[in-house]
Structure 1
Amino acid sequence: MHTEDPPKAIIEHWLKDYPSKKGRYGHILLEQKSPGGDTVREGLRPYFESAHSDARNHFHSFAGMSLHPDAGTPGCNAKYPNCLPSITRRGLFGEVMSGMMTEAFDFIGEHEWVVPVFLFRKQEDVQQYIYTLSRDPARTREVYGRKGDDFIGIVIDSEGKVTRFIAGEAKWRQTWNDSTLAGVMLGDKIKDPNDPSKRIHNGKGVWFEINRALKVPMGVKQLQGLLQELAPDDYAQVILSLDRILQLENPEPTERTDLILLAGGSAARREEAVPLLRWEKTPAEYTAGRDLQVVEILLTDGGQLIDALYDSLWP
């Protein structure tokens, strides 16, 4: 289970925040103000270990590995998540930061969000990668991302009833500029069917995925399964509440908040305090009509921090 509180003091030391709320739209820009060196890395490490602990137990057990393999022992090269490729680490970083920011900041609606467990064990390609790599150290490769929403959090009332979910997309890019942002949010460019001499976005980006997202995403079912396995007594009422929400016929009503987290490097010409997405009002591309929270984390040394952080987990 995920049990570590967000390191608010480290976040405040590391990042400067520019929050805003307009109607049902919340926006937080976070700009790096201190180097992501030893202090930041060590401050973030307990939260990241907590976020990955369930998947680490699961993947190591599946591969027949010790949780703490000594150097030179079988499988020591395949420790999760340390052994994962660079691009995979960056994706995981965004997903963990989604949980951390949700727990650390007042999002739109000012709900008290709970993250009982992260869903990383559901990344099936990582399971295959760890199993194979532990038996053949030469079998390194890129890893496919986990299907479904990148992150799930819930609101639990005093009676153990789940009243709201937060779910959405986390994206990392080495440098966020206008073309990168447009590609992520609006989809890849294709030939314009009306004018083959021009190229247009295919409309299959983050806005498309968020707008068509199910009110109760599959990650909620995955979360319920993990709670039943890991903490059935502590979360008994939550599990029962999720049963009622997940049934196909006459499900118990609940609400969803959409989250978009964009993390990575800032473009060289971007001015201070200038966000990637507009903050004054809800972007026109968002049509789902739910509460929307955008978080932007712009870093100057993010790649180095991520690699140092993931190398340091469970030393």
Structure 2
Amino acid sequence: MHTARPPKKALKAWLEAYPSEVGNYGHLLLEEKQETDANIPKDLIPYFESAHLDARRCFHQLARISLHPDEGDAGCDAHYPGSLPLKARKGLFGEVMSGMMSESYDFVGRHEYLIPVFLFRNHEDAGQYIYTLSRDPTRTREVLGRKGDDFIAIVVDEEGKVTRFIAGEAKWRGSWTPSVVDTVMLGEKIADPDDSTKRIHSGKGVWYEVNRALPVPLGLEQLHAILEECEPDKFAKVIASLDRILARRNPDPVERTDLILLVGGSPATRKPAHSLIPWENVPEEYKAGRDLQIVELLIADGDDLIDAIYAGLWAKEYALA
């Protein structure tokens, strides 16, 4: 289960925050105060270890390798998540940062979010990759992304009832130029069916996915299953509440907040404190009508940071007491 507290002190020292809230729309721009130093990965590693621990146990059990494989042991080069290719680790990084941001900053509505566990065990292709790699270290390849919401957290009242959840969509890019933002949010360019000389966005980007998201997504069912398996006593009331929310007939109502996290490099032409997506009003492309929170996390040398974090997970020099 996820138990590590977010490194709020480290985040405050590392990032300058520009928050805003207009009605049911929240926007948070986060910029580096200085280039990432060697201490940042060390500060973030305990949270990342906690986020990945459930899936690590599942995938290592699947591959029949130790949680702490020593050099020379069979399968030692196939540990999760460090052995995944960089592209896959970038996706995982965004998902973990979605949780860290949700627990560290005030989002729209100022709810207190709880993350009992991250849903990485449902990343089927990652499990297959680790299993194969543990038996044949030459079988490296790209890993398909996990299906469903990138991130789920819940709000629980004093009686243990789930009253709200936040579902996140995280995207990583090396440089968030205006054209890259448009492609991610609006879809790839295609031929205009009304004018073959023009190209238009397909409309199948992040806005499309968020607008058509189910009021009660699969992620809540997956969360329910993990809690029921791993912590049925501790989360008994939460499990019972999720049962009622997930019921097909007469389900309990639950509020949803949509989270979009854009993380990666700032374009060279962007001025400090200027956001990628307008913050003054709800973006016109957002049609779902729910609470919406956008986070822009703009950092330099992101590849190096991700490499340092994932190389340091469960390493002896970073080992938790």
Whether these two folds match at TM > 0.5 is yes
Contact persistence 1:51–1:118 (CA under 8 A): yes
Paired with 2:194 and 2:107, the residues of 1 have a C-alpha distance of 42
Paired with 2:24 and 2:119, the residues of 1 have a C-alpha distance of 27
Letter in 2 for 1:133: L
In the TM superposition, 1:127-276 aligns within 5 A as: 127-276=127-276
Paired with 2:7 and 2:26, the residues of 1 have a C-alpha distance of 22
* Structure 1 counterpart of 2:296: 296
* Structure 1 counterpart of 2:75: 75
1:187 CA drift (Å)? 0.4
1:172 CA drift (Å)? 0.2
**Secondary structure of residue in 2 paired with 1:54:** helix
Paired with 2:235 and 2:285, the residues of 1 have a C-alpha distance of 37
Letter in 2 for 1:104: S
Contact persistence 1:20–1:279 (CA under 8 A): yes
**Secondary structure of residue in 2 paired with 1:77:** coil
Q: Which moved more, 1:35-44 or 1:279-288?
A: 35-44
**Secondary structure of residue in 2 paired with 1:170:** strand
Letter in 1 for 2:2: H
Does 2:59 align with 1:64? no
Paired with 1:37 and 1:89, the residues of 2 have a C-alpha distance of 20
In the TM superposition, 1:79-158 aligns within 5 A as: 79-158=79-158
Letter in 2 for 1:126: A
* Structure 1 counterpart of 2:35: 35
Letter in 2 for 1:79: H
1:193 CA drift (Å)? 0.4
Letter in 2 for 1:278: P
1:37 CA drift (Å)? 2.4
Aligned pair count reads: 315
1:204 CA drift (Å)? 0.3
Contact persistence 1:175–1:264 (CA under 8 A): yes
Paired with 2:124 and 2:280, the residues of 1 have a C-alpha distance of 40
Contact persistence 1:168–1:210 (CA under 8 A): no
Paired with 1:91 and 1:231, the residues of 2 have a C-alpha distance of 27
Structure 1 residues 22-44: Cα deviation after superposition (integer angstroms, max 9, x where no partner): 00000000001123222101000
Contact persistence 1:258–1:290 (CA under 8 A): yes
Contact persistence 1:13–1:34 (CA under 8 A): no
* Structure 2 counterpart of 1:8: 8
Query: Structure 1 regions of 5+ residues with no counterpart?
Result: none
Paired with 1:135 and 1:268, the residues of 2 have a C-alpha distance of 44
Paired with 1:32 and 1:59, the residues of 2 have a C-alpha distance of 34
Letter in 2 for 1:140: T
Letter in 1 for 2:195: D
* Structure 1 counterpart of 2:319: none
1:113 CA drift (Å)? 0.5
Letter in 2 for 1:263: V
Structure 1 residues 41-83: Cα deviation after superposition (integer angstroms, max 9, x where no partner): 1000000000000000000011000011110111100010110
**Secondary structure of residue in 2 paired with 1:78:** coil
Paired with 1:90 and 1:183, the residues of 2 have a C-alpha distance of 18
Paired with 1:269 and 1:244, the residues of 2 have a C-alpha distance of 50
Paired with 1:133 and 1:29, the residues of 2 have a C-alpha distance of 39
Structure 1 residues 269-303: Cα deviation after superposition (integer angstroms, max 9, x where no partner): 11000000000010000010000000000011111
Q: Which moved more, 1:33-42 or 1:240-249?
A: 33-42
Paired with 2:300 and 2:35, the residues of 1 have a C-alpha distance of 8
1:168 CA drift (Å)? 2.4
